[in-house]
C-alpha cells in the first residue's frame, strides 16, 4: 500500500497549514507524521486489524510539530482487499499542555511535600536531643529527692516538667514516625523480645492517665505469650498509641481493656473501650493522618490525629493486619494480628 493522499477536507488543510488541496495531492502519510517507523507500524496494524486509534506526532507544512489524536479505518473493495485508508485527526496540543501542567504541578507538590516531611523529620531529631536531657535530669532530681530534699512546690513543678516533657517527646516520636511513612523509610529490626514485659511497660505508662479519668484499665494476657520476634520499640509504640487512643475517647468512669492471645503462629491483641463509638461512614477515614472524626471531636480531645495511622503502618510493616469493630455511641474494639516469628532483621 503506497499510502498516498487522494483527498482531504478544509479542516485538514487548516490543521497542517496548507492553502490548497493540490499541495497535498500525491504526498504520502509519511510526509505528515513525525516518526516514519511508528507510522509504518500503524499502517501494518490497519492492514491486519482494520482500524487504529491513538496519539501521533504530526508535522505541519512549516515544520512545526504538534500532537494529534488519529482515528483511521481500512477501506476494502468488493473482494475484501485493501483499497485505502480513511481517517480523521484532531489537534490535542491544548490537552497535552494541560496534562503536562497537571503532571508538573503534581511533581512540584510531591517535591514540596517531601521537603516539608524532611524538615519535620530533621527538626524532630534536633529537638529530641535537648528534650531527652530535660526529661532525664528531671527524673534524677525527683528520684534523688531524699538525699537532696526538695520543697513541695519544687517537687510539684518538677513533676509538671517531667509530664510535659514526656508528652512532647511522644509528639516528636509521632512526627518522626509519620515522616518515615511519607518518605517510605519505616524500618523493622526484628529481634526476640518478651511481649509480656512490653505490655507491662504500657500498663505502667498509661495507668496514671486512666486513673485521672477514673477509667478502669484491665489487661488480660495469655501466660503462654512470652518471646516473639519483632521490633520491640515499634510494637510498644503501636500498643501505646492504640491504648492511649482508647483512654482519650473514653469518658470518665468508663473502661479500657487489652487482651492478648496466641493463635497458631500469630499473636492477636485487642483493645476495647467504652468510648464514643465510630460510625460506619467514619471508619473509612479512621486511619488517615491528621484526622479526627469531626470538628467537635477535634476541639474536645487532644492529639495530632497520628496515632492510628502510625499503628496501622507499623503493624503492616510486621506483616500484620488491623481492623476495628464499632458503632456510634457503642463500644469500640481495635484488633491487630502479627506473626510471632517475623524474620530476624527484616527491613
Q: What is the CATH number of the domain that holds 150?
A: 1.10.287.130
- Total number of residues shown for the chain: 347
Number of folded domains that form the chain: 3
Helix axes 307-317, 232-248, angle to 10 degrees: 150
pLDDT of residue 336: 96
Question: Is 4 among the domain residues?
Answer: no
Cα separation, 315 vs 334, in Å, equals: 12
**Residues in Cβ contact with 139 at an 8 Å cutoff, skipping those fewer than 6 apart:** 162
Comparing 344 with 77, the larger pLDDT belongs to 77
Question: Is 345 among the domain residues?
Answer: no
Question: Is 346 among the domain residues?
Answer: no
Helix (H, G, I), strand (E, B) or coil at 148: coil
Q: Which three cell numbers stand for residue 159?
A: 513533676
Please check whether residues 210 and 330 belong to one and the same domain: yes
* Long-range contacts at 35-44 (CB < 8 A, ≥ 24 apart): 42/70, 42/72, 43/1, 43/3, 43/85
Question: Is 347 among the domain residues?
Answer: no
Structure letter (DSSP) for residue 34: S
Cα separation, 38 vs 36, in Å, equals: 5
Which of 3, 21, 22 shows the shortest CA–CA distance to 12? 21
Ranges of beta strands (E only) in the chain are: 51-59, 65-76, 82-91, 191-194, 216-221, 227-230, 255-263, 266-273, 321-326, 332-339
Please check whether residues 152 and 210 belong to one and the same domain: no
DSSP H or E stretch at residue 10: helix 10-16
Cα separation, 326 vs 333, in Å, equals: 6
Residue 345's pLDDT band (cuts 50, 70, 90):
very low
Query: DSSP for 46-60?
Result: HHHHSEEEEEEEEE-
**Residues in Cβ contact with 36 at an 8 Å cutoff, skipping those fewer than 6 apart:** 30
Q: What is the CATH number of the domain that holds 319?
A: 3.30.565.10
Please check whether residues 120 and 228 belong to one and the same domain: no
Ranges of beta strands (E only) in 177-265 are: 191-194, 216-221, 227-230, 255-263
Mean pLDDT across the chain: 83
CA angle, corner 65, sides to 62 and 69, nearest 5? 125
Q: What is the CATH number of the domain that holds 58?
A: 3.30.450.20
In Å, how far are 165, 244, 247 from 208, measured between CA atoms?
A: 16, 11, 11
Q: 72, 46 in Cβ contact below 8 A?
A: yes
Q: Which residue has the cell 490543521?
A: 15
Question: Is 5 among the domain residues?
Answer: no
Q: 196, 261 in Cβ contact below 8 A?
A: no
Share of the chain above pLDDT 90, in %: 28
Question: Is 144 among the domain residues?
Answer: yes
Tell me: the pLDDT tens digits for 108-162? Answer: 777 766 766 676 667 666 677 777 778 887 888 888 777 777 788 888 888 888 7
pLDDT of residue 290: 62
Please check whether residues 177 and 316 belong to one and the same domain: no
Please check whether residues 203 and 318 belong to one and the same domain: yes
Please check whether residues 80 and 136 belong to one and the same domain: no
Please check whether residues 178 and 298 belong to one and the same domain: no
**Which of 66, 91, 116 is the last residue in one of the domains?**
91
**Which of 158, 182, 206 is the last residue in one of the domains?**
182
Question: Is 3 among the domain residues?
Answer: no
Question: Is 38 among the domain residues?
Answer: yes
Tell me: the pLDDT tens digits for 208-241? Answer: 889 999 999 999 999 888 888 899 988 998 999 8
Please check whether residues 71 and 134 belong to one and the same domain: no
Q: In this structure, what are the phi and psi dihedrals at residue 232, rounded to the nearest 5 degrees?
A: -55, -50
Please check whether residues 224 and 142 belong to one and the same domain: no
Please check whether residues 150 and 70 belong to one and the same domain: no
**Which of 91, 112, 135 is the last residue in one of the domains?**
91
Average pLDDT (308-333) is 90
pLDDT of residue 347: 42
Please check whether residues 246 and 305 belong to one and the same domain: yes
Please check whether residues 205 and 293 belong to one and the same domain: yes
Domain housing 333: 191-339
Which of 50, 91, 94 shows the shortest CA–CA distance to 72? 50
Comparing 124 with 53, the larger pLDDT belongs to 53
Cα separation, 195 vs 85, in Å, equals: 73
Cα separation, 94 vs 92, in Å, equals: 6
pLDDT of residue 111: 72
pLDDT of residue 172: 73
pTM above 0.85, yes or no: no
Amino acid at each position: 500500500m503506497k499510502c498516498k493522499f487522494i483527498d482531504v477536507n478544509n479542516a485538514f488543510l487548516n490543521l497542517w497549514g496548507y492553502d490548497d488541496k493540490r499541495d497535498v495531492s500525491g504526498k504520502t502519510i509519511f510526509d505528515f507524521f513525525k516518526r516514519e517507523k511508528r507510522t509504518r507500524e500503524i499502517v501494518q496494524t490497519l492492514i491486519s486489524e482494520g482500524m487504529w486509534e491513538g496519539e501521533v506526532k504530526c508535522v505541519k507544512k512549516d515544520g512545526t510539530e504538534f500532537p494529534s489524536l488519529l482515528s483511521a479505518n481500512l477501506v476494502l473493495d468488493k473482494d475484501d482487499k485493501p483499497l485505502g485508508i480513511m481517517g480523521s485527526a484532531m489537534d490535542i496540543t491544548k490537552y497535552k499542555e494541560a496534562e503536562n501542567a497537571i503532571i508538573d504541578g503534581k511533581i512540584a507538590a510531591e517535591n514540596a511535600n517531601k521537603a516539608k516531611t524532611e524538615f519535620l523529620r530533621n527538626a524532630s531529631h534536633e529537638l529530641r536531643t535537648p528534650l531527652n536531657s530535660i526529661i532525664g535530669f528531671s527524673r534524677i532530681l525527683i528520684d534523688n529527692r531524699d538525699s537532696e530534699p526538695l520543697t513541695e512546690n519544687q517537687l510539684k513543678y518538677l513533676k509538671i516538667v517531667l509530664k510535659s516533657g514526656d508528652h512532647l517527646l511522644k509528639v516528636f516520636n509521632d512526627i518522626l514516625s509519620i515522616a518515615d511513612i511519607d518518605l517510605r523509610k519505616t524500618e523493622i529490626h526484628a529481634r526476640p523480645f518478651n511481649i509480656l514485659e512490653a505490655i507491662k511497660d504500657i500498663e505502667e505508662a498509661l495507668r496514671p492517665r486512666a486513673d485521672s479519668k477514673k477509667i478502669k484499665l484491665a489487661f488480660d494476657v495469655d501466660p503462654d505469650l512470652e518471646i516473639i520476634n519483632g521490633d520491640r520499640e515499634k510494637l510498644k509504640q503501636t500498643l501505646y498509641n492504640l491504648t492511649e487512643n482508647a483512654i482519650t475517647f473514653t469518658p470518665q468512669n468508663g473502661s479500657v481493656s487489652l487482651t492478648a492471645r496466641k493463635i497458631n503462629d500469630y499473636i492477636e491483641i485487642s483493645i476495647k473501650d467504652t468510648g464514643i463509638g465510630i460510625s460506619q461512614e467514619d471508619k473509612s477515614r479512621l486511619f488517615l493522618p491528621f484526622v479526627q472524626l469531626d470538628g467537635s471531636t477535634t476541639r474536645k480531645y487532644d492529639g495530632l490525629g497520628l496515632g492510628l495511622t502510625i499503628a496501622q503502618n507499623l503493624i503492616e510493616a510486621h506483616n500484620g493486619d488491623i481492623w476495628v469493630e464499632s458503632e456510634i455511641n457503642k463500644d469500640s474494639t481495635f484488633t491487630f494480628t502479627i506473626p510471632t516469628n517475623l524474620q530476624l532483621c527484616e527491613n
